[in-house]
A and B are shown apart, each in its own frame.
Chain A
Amino acid sequence: MISSNKQHSHSGQETKRFLPAGGHGLVVNFDDTQLRPGESKGNTDLATRKARALAGLIQEAAKDGKLSGIVDLIPGLTNLLVQYDPLLITAKHLQTTITPWLDHLSEDSGKSRHIRIPCCYGGEFGPDLEGIADQLNLSADEIVERHVASSLEVAIMGFLPGLAYMKGVDEALYLPRRKTPRAMVPALTLGIAMDQTVVYPMPSPGGWNLIGRIPIELFDPGKDNPVLLRPGDKIKFYQIDIKKYNDIYKSYHEGQFVVEIS
């Protein structure tokens, strides 16, 4: 889970660029506030994009046969984990290969997909909407307005297949996660916490503030490409009522409704 805590510069200890994860993983760290203590933390998003850009370059090199032994690439918040096969490559070789690439990473690939996702807010689908309205001193309608107006970006994914941590929620909606997580959150429920939004792709325990539900699947094992979202996607939600929700739900699950991706 993305931590609400800020990037620390740990009492002057400089965090290194490359951090070992056994002899089978290497974390490449782009957190400049750690690399250069004192720098503003506003660069977190840029660092996350750089990590993603590096993943793209490594993936290409692996495809072209220039790098072997790459098992998986997992973008994190301001970092990239390269999982490798020590029978085929060493951390040292990996570092030597990618180090020259680090200074030329584009912070925005320009290839981001823009995706619009319908959401039915409040009521049974968003049991926390009324409660957090009191906490935030906003009306439920204002919360929804600010949420649909937020331009979100998938920073990283994790926790469950298809679960995206979408950053960029309106500052006025900043809340911690619930003190006591729910034992079970229904599938497709949308939650907010900190500057982020998540949608639970499947039933799961969860501690986010639940404000709505979407009628389309984020993880659909029956499809050729089961996961809808990926890191770097730009997301906008739009509000639908319960009738429209039911229509889209039915239409999507009959294979008719097409998600807007541009």
Chain B
Amino acid sequence: MTVDAITMIRSGPYTSVQDRGRAGHQAVGVPESGALDRVALRLVNALVGNPADKAGLEICLGGVQIAFQASRRVALTGSVAATMVITDHLGHDITVYANRSIRVHAGQTIHINGLSGTNTVFLAISGGIGTPPLYGSRATSPNAMIGGLKGRLLKDGDVLPLCPDVAFPDTAKGYADKMLSDLTVYDASSSLRVVFGPQDDRFTDQAKAVFLSSTYQVSPLLNRMGMRLDGPVLEHCDNADIASDGIVNGSVQVPGDGKPIILLADHQTTGGYTKIATVIQADLPMLARRKPGDSITFTAISVEDAEQAARDHEALLCHAIETMVAPPPMNAIASPCPSDDKSD
């Protein structure tokens, strides 16, 4: 039996298979991993009719060209400005904006070029990527060498199997492609909200004041493990060593050099350095969209407010999914096999 697949003609510099991650095994050192932008992941799976647990492609920096050997519905999210170009078998190009889905046919290719306005976009394909799961997740963690395709970032020429296509659930509503009508979930506050701790007591009062009053820049040393920040150093009371403890996404770790690092999805499960604060869950997706050189400031809130922000954010996300509408048709794409859309 042949399996439906896509081929990465150009993989781009930092593209990986990601899903919701594999939380639940960090006690034995297995990182949670998963999409940096969980909002984008939820939205984009919903746009193509996928259940929320399906794996797609997280694309940092762009530079991706994908050939489809199967007819599937696709969508791109992560920013309001991102675009992809679909080339049909006659060589005609059509530009498709983010936040809507469209059917791509076997033999067609998608280009996602340089990204503007964001560092990361997420591409979903109906049915989802079908690489072998580990602990129920296909998320790639390159440092741990697990998940995705052979535990690594994608390379030119990689062939990715697809899971069987999903039956599109909204046919009864009269449309198969979907578009977001409410983008407020993407509205980013200018400042990242943090809760002080777990080890804020290891910093001088002045360091805590500096942390909240300074503008930091995202360092070029940015990867899925962490976002290093350039800016004022934060002074410890004595030193940066602690009895190792577990790490959550968004921990702001400050090692001995006083330079903060925001730990992201592929962070180590435990660490022995002080963490001055933690970026709240609702603001984590914003980190995926920050590029090297972007500014970052911090605002401190309480644990209760952080928990409320998570609930408010979830409500926005659910509203965005519930209010998806039929997008304007895009007839310019030639379909080599008009009958193959009958699954809609």
Tell me, yes or no, whether A binds B. yes
Residues of A participating in the B interface, judged by any CB pair closer than 8 Å: 1-5, 7-8, 10-11, 13, 15, 19-25, 27, 31, 44, 55, 71-81, 83, 86-87, 90-92, 156-165, 202, 221, 226-227, 229-231
- On chain A, the residues within 8 Å of B238 by CB distance are 8, 10-11
How many angstroms between the C-alpha atoms of A87 and B312 in the bound complex?
10
By the criterion CB–CB under 8 Å, are A21 and B311 in contact? no
Which residues of B (185-200) have their CB < 8 Å from a CB of A?
A: 194-199
Q: Chain B's interface: helix, strand, loop or mixed, by majority?
A: mixed
**A19, chain B: closest CB distance, angstroms:** 4
How many angstroms between the C-alpha atoms of A213 and B239 in the bound complex?
34
How many angstroms between the C-alpha atoms of A156 and B237 in the bound complex?
26
Between-chain CB contacts (< 8 Å), 19 pairs: A11-B237, A19-B197, A20-B198, A21-B248, A22-B281, A23-B280, A23-B305, A25-B278, A27-B245, A44-B243, A72-B24, A72-B27, A158-B29, A161-B144, A162-B30, A163-B29, A202-B144, A202-B145, A226-B135
Given A5-B239, A87-B314, A226-B134, do A74 and B270 touch, yes or no (CB 8 Å)? yes
- On chain A, the residues within 8 Å of B23 by CB distance are 71-72, 83
User: Which residue of chain A lies nearest to B277 when distances are taken between CB atoms in the complex?
Assistant: A22
Any A CB within 8 A of the CB of B336: no
By the criterion CB–CB under 8 Å, are B198 and A1 in contact? no
By the criterion CB–CB under 8 Å, are A2 and B244 in contact? yes
By the criterion CB–CB under 8 Å, are B243 and A77 in contact? yes
Q: Chain A's interface: helix, strand, loop or mixed, by majority?
A: loop
By the criterion CB–CB under 8 Å, are A159 and B146 in contact? no
How many angstroms between the C-alpha atoms of A73 and B23 in the bound complex?
9
- Residue from A1, A13, A25, A87 in contact with B272 in the complex, judged by beta carbons closer than 8 Å: A1
User: Which residue of chain A lies nearest to B279 when distances are taken between CB atoms in the complex?
Assistant: A22
How many angstroms between the C-alpha atoms of A140 and B280 in the bound complex?
51
Which residues of B (275-312) have their CB < 8 Å from a CB of A?
A: 275, 278-281, 303-307, 309-311
- On chain A, the residues within 8 Å of B145 by CB distance are 202
**B149, chain A: closest CB distance, angstroms:** 13
Interface size class of B (residues with CB under 8 A): 35 or more
User: Which residue of chain B lies nearest to A76 when distances are taken between CB atoms in the complex?
Assistant: B245
**A79, chain B: closest CB distance, angstroms:** 5
User: Which residue of chain B lies nearest to A80 when distances are taken between CB atoms in the complex?
Assistant: B246
By the criterion CB–CB under 8 Å, are A161 and B303 in contact? no
The 6 closest A-B pairs by CB, nearest first: A23-B306, A81-B246, A74-B246, A158-B270, A22-B278, A19-B198
By the criterion CB–CB under 8 Å, are B278 and A20 in contact? yes
- Residue from B237, B244, B303 in contact with A91 in the complex, judged by beta carbons closer than 8 Å: B303
By the criterion CB–CB under 8 Å, are B245 and A77 in contact? yes
By the criterion CB–CB under 8 Å, are A86 and B281 in contact? yes
How many angstroms between the C-alpha atoms of A164 and B245 in the bound complex?
14
Any A CB within 8 A of the CB of B201: yes
Given A5-B239, A19-B198, do A160 and B29 touch, yes or no (CB 8 Å)? yes
Any A CB within 8 A of the CB of B130: no
- On chain B, the residues within 8 Å of A231 by CB distance are 27-28
By the criterion CB–CB under 8 Å, are A3 and B197 in contact? no
Any A CB within 8 A of the CB of B11: no
How many angstroms between the C-alpha atoms of A164 and B244 in the bound complex?
13
Any A CB within 8 A of the CB of B251: yes
User: Which residue of chain B lies nearest to A13 when distances are taken between CB atoms in the complex?
Assistant: B201
**A159, chain B: closest CB distance, angstroms:** 5
- On chain B, the residues within 8 Å of A226 by CB distance are 134-135
- On chain A, the residues within 8 Å of B303 by CB distance are 20, 22-23, 90-92
**A231, chain B: closest CB distance, angstroms:** 6
- Residue from B194, B201, B251, B275 in contact with A10 in the complex, judged by beta carbons closer than 8 Å: B201
Any A CB within 8 A of the CB of B269: yes
- On chain B, the residues within 8 Å of A158 by CB distance are 29, 244, 268-271
- On chain A, the residues within 8 Å of B307 by CB distance are 23, 86, 90-91
- On chain B, the residues within 8 Å of A22 by CB distance are 194-195, 248, 250-251, 278-281, 303, 306
- On chain A, the residues within 8 Å of B25 by CB distance are 72, 161, 227
- Residue from B27, B29, B32, B311 in contact with A87 in the complex, judged by beta carbons closer than 8 Å: B311
**A39, chain B: closest CB distance, angstroms:** 14
- On chain A, the residues within 8 Å of B24 by CB distance are 71-72
Any A CB within 8 A of the CB of B323: no
